[in-house]
Amino acid sequence: MHKKVTIKMRLGLLFLITSFAFGCGTTTIAPDAERKSPTLLHERISSQQRVGSGVSLRVLWTVSKYTLGKNALWGDKEARAMLFKPLDITATSITFNGKTCHGIIFKKENQKAKEYLESVFHTTPQTLGIAEEEVEVVKTDCNLPGFAEYLRLKDRRLVIYLNGVFFHLEPAVHY
C-alpha cells in the first residue's frame, strides 16, 4: 500500500514538473558527453514549432513495476534501474529510455490473455497480475526493444517485454 502511494506521489510530482516546463518553454534531454546521466536543457519556443530538436520531457507513462520472466536475461538490479523511466507515444512515434522511433505504424488486435501470454511468452496472466480475460496487443514497426509488440490493458496500463522482463507502465494522467 505504501509503495503504491509513493509511486502515485512521484507520478503526481512528475506531472506537475512537466506541466510547469511546458508553461515556460520546452525541456529536452541531452546526453552528457561523459556518459553520465542525461541533463535537462531548457529551450525557448520560437514562433515556428521545432521538429526533431531533442527528446520531449512530456510523459504519458512511466515504468511502475516489473516481473522477471522465465530465463530472463536481466536480473533485479537491471530491471530495478528501469523503474520510473518515462514513455511518450504519439500517433507516429515512440520515445523510451532516451531513444525515439519515428514514422511508426501501429496495428492493434484483441487477444485472449491466457492463450496469448502462454503461446508468446510462456507465462500466465496471474503471474503478471493481469485480471482481464482479453488484452489489446499492439504491434509496430518500431525497432526499440520492447515496442515491436506490447500489451495495452483496459485501465490504460501498458506491458512491454524487454530482455526477459515484463515492465508495467502506468499512465501519468488518469481521466
pLDDT tens digit sequence for 32-89:
434 433 333 333 323 233 334 344 456 589 999 999 998 899 999 999 999 999 999 9
C-alpha to C-alpha distance for 18 and 12, rounded to whole angstroms = 10
Decide the pairing of beta strands 26-30 and 39-43: antiparallel
C-alpha to C-alpha distance for 104 and 68, rounded to whole angstroms = 28
- Would you call 144 exposed, middle or buried from its count of C-beta atoms within 10 A (0-12, 13-18, 19+)? middle
What's the pTM? 0.66
